[in-house]
């Protein structure tokens, strides 16, 4: 496996895209700090909708009877979230498992849920998942709350941890690093007063790299579920309602 590119190597390589006339001139002054700042700002910005983050990953969590509220966030957040994979940027799918049987969860709009919620919290077989995004964490509500222990499963994209100049980009796939080289160079050219160094050819390369990122991205924002089964008497017995 190749050695991950360090953040310093990344910044030097990215800067050479807009300093081609003098490719051997090293970074000077606060150039390194500026490029690390821009890199982190881009990573945070891409987490807004999750499309330009890496591929989604699977998270599992055992939940207990009555545990209808889960939180997702960074491990250093206080109080510690239920799932410490970072802030949830995009949900792809979620389901519960009990004794080898999967129960898909349905993504329910929180405004519709709150407008129609009239009864005390129920317990049974959870069918709905309601998301409440916040700045640092995302709160998830299972409804009804589980009447027994389940395994909660979720595929989603999580906001990447900010990097430092002494770190590396080993957590990112190679195609993502290539895209970021161009993206950081473009923003750096603007902050350095070198906008003319960002040519049409470089812009075309950036757009091509972005298209590859989007083609590799999981863009399904809908949690699938069989709403028709909600009227099935068998399901209502299982759910306890």
pLDDT (tens digit, 9 = 90+) per residue, 205-222? 999 999 888 887 765 444
Question: How many structural domains does the chain have?
Answer: 2
Q: What is the pLDDT of residue 121?
A: 66
User: Are residues 69 and 152 in contact, defined by beta-carbon separation less than 8 angstroms?
Assistant: no
Write down the pLDDT at residue 21.
60
Please check whether residues 127 and 193 belong to one and the same domain: no
Q: By residue range, what is the domain housing residue 22? A: 7-51+160-198
pLDDT the model gives residue 220? 46
**209 in a structural domain:** no
pTM for the complete prediction? Answer: 0.76
Whether residues 135 and 231 share a domain: the answer is yes
Residue 69 in domain: yes
pLDDT of residue 22: 58
Residue 94's pLDDT is 94
Residue 108: its pLDDT value, please? 82
pLDDT value, residue 91: 87
Q: Which of 100, 101, 88 is nearest to 47 (CA)?
A: 88
Residues of the chain scoring pLDDT < 50: 220-233, 235-236, 240-241
- Residue 232 resides in a domain: yes
User: 86 and 126: one domain?
Assistant: yes
The 10s digit of each residue's pLDDT in 126-160 is 999 999 988 889 999 998 899 999 999 999 999 88
**HEC states along 123-154?**
EECCCEEEEEECCCCEEEEEECEECCCEEEEE
What pLDDT does residue 54 have?
80
Same domain, 69 and 108: yes
Please indicate, yes or no, whether residues 73 and 144 belong to a single structural domain of this protein: yes
- Report the pLDDT value the prediction gives residue 4, as an integer from 0 to 100: 87
- Quick one: 75 and 14 in the same domain? no
Cα–Cα dist 83/1, whole Å: 29
């Amino acid at each position: 496996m190749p050695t991950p590119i360090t953040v310093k190597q990344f910044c030097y390589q990215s800067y050479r895209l807009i300093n081609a006339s003098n490719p051997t001139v090293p970074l000077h002054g606060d150039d390194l700090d500026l490029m690390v700042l821009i890199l982190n700002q881009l990573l945070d910005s891409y987490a807004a909708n999750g499309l330009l983050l890496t591929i989604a990953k699977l998270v599992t969590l055992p939940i207990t009877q009555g545990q209808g509220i889960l939180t997702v966030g960074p491990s250093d957040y206080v109080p510690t979230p239920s799932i410490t994979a970072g802030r949830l940027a995009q949900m792809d799918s979620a389901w519960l498992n009990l004794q080898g049987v999967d129960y898909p969860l349905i993504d329910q709009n929180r405004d519709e849920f709150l407008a129609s919620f009239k009864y005390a919290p129920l317990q049974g077989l959870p069918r709905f998942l309601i998301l409440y995004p916040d700045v640092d964490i995302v709160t998830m509500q299972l409804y009804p709350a589980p009447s027994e222990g389940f395994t909660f499963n979720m595929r989603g994209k999580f906001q990447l941890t900010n990097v430092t100049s002494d770190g590396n980009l080993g957590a990112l796939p190679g195609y993502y690093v290539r895209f970021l080289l161009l993206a950081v160079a473009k923003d750096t050219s603007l902050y350095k007063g070198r906008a003319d160094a960002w040519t049409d050819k470089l812009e075309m390369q950036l757009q091509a790299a972005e298209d590859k990122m989007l083609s590799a991205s999981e863009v399904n924002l809908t949690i699938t579920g069989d709403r028709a089964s909600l009227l099935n008497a068998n399901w209502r017995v299982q759910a306890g309602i």
